[in-house]
Chains A and B, each alone.
Chain A
Amino acid sequence: MAEPMRIRATMAGDVADVKVLMNHPMETGTRKDAKTGQLVPAHFISEVTATINGAKVLEANIGGAVSKNPYLGFKVKGPKAGDKVVVNWLDNKGDKNTAEAIIG
């Protein structure tokens, strides 16, 4: 099962700066295993959504071309310190993970 994901959210003026670090191998499906010469099956996060206090702020479709252990940063205008950020991801094998953080 997926490892925890880390979220850091800080206010900079009236903008919340959200940084998310997900744990995922992000296999494209085109890489060959160095030992066996076999293709490593595709395994990557395909969808990421983020909400702040329950309201959706980001909906992303990503592919295997995002680096291993994906990093995602975005900025949201409006929230206040103490608001709750929730990030969910879903991968191409149906695995999912969720994490939340309080904006500081």
Chain B
Amino acid sequence: MNALRRNVLKGAAGAGAVAVAVAAGLLKPTQAMAAWNKGAFEAKNVGDAMKGLGVSGPADSKDITIKAPDIAENGAVVPVEVTSGIAGTTSIAILAEKNASPLVGNFNLMGGTQGFISTRIKMGQTSLVRAVVNAGGKSYTAAKEVKVTIGGCGG
């Protein structure tokens, strides 16, 4: 019984090591990418978060569609889908305006990736969900209110 357990453990450790090695090899491109934008993610308000992203005074755009529920019962999992119809969209950022740290994520799109991002986010309370799109060196934005019944941050 014990010998078998040893073998199983040994096997598992071996497989783990291989996985780590493979991951290390394949992950090289990641290390070359821009470092995680700490300032923008730790910003406590929308203005600072945008500043951290290098965005100032984005223009309102009707070509950005945010698909999210009007009322989210569970703030821990709010599905959000952003579609940008703006030609040459290079990045989409998602912000939950009243979260303690509003910036949720910044997605850089390249190599044929279309202006579309779908994900699930946490929201602390009812607030605007804002998308900021960069296209052709300019910034555009749109927002949609999501009412949250039970917050999904902290607590």
Contact = CB atoms under 8 A, between A and B. Distances in A.
- Is A bound to B? yes
Given A49-B33, A55-B111, A76-B113, A63 B27 contact: no
A28 interface: yes
B112 A65 contact: no
Given A46-B36, A60-B105, A77 B112 contact: yes
B112 A78 contact: yes
For chain B, which range describes its interface: under 10, 10 to 19, 20 to 34, or 35 or more residues?
Answer: 35 or more
Contacts of A31: 153-155
A30 B27 contact: no
Nearest to A44: B41
Given A63-B41, A71-B120, A96-B27, A58 B113 contact: yes
Contacts of A30: 100, 153-154
Contact of A1 (B20, B76, B78): B20
B149 interface: no
Interface in A1-15: 1, 15
Interface size class for chain A?
35 or more
Contacts of A98: 22-23, 26-27
Nearest to B105: A62
B110 interface: yes
Nearest to B49: A63
Given A65-B104, A65-B121, A88-B26, A75 B36 contact: no
A61 B37 contact: yes
18 contacts: A1-B19, A56-B110, A57-B109, A57-B113, A58-B110, A59-B108, A61-B36, A61-B105, A62-B105, A63-B101, A65-B122, A67-B119, A70-B120, A72-B117, A74-B109, A75-B116, A77-B112, A90-B27
Given A57-B112, A65-B123, 14 more contacts: A1-B16, A46-B36, A57-B111, A61-B106, A62-B105, A65-B103, A65-B105, A66-B121, A72-B118, A73-B119, A74-B113, A77-B113, A88-B23, A97-B23
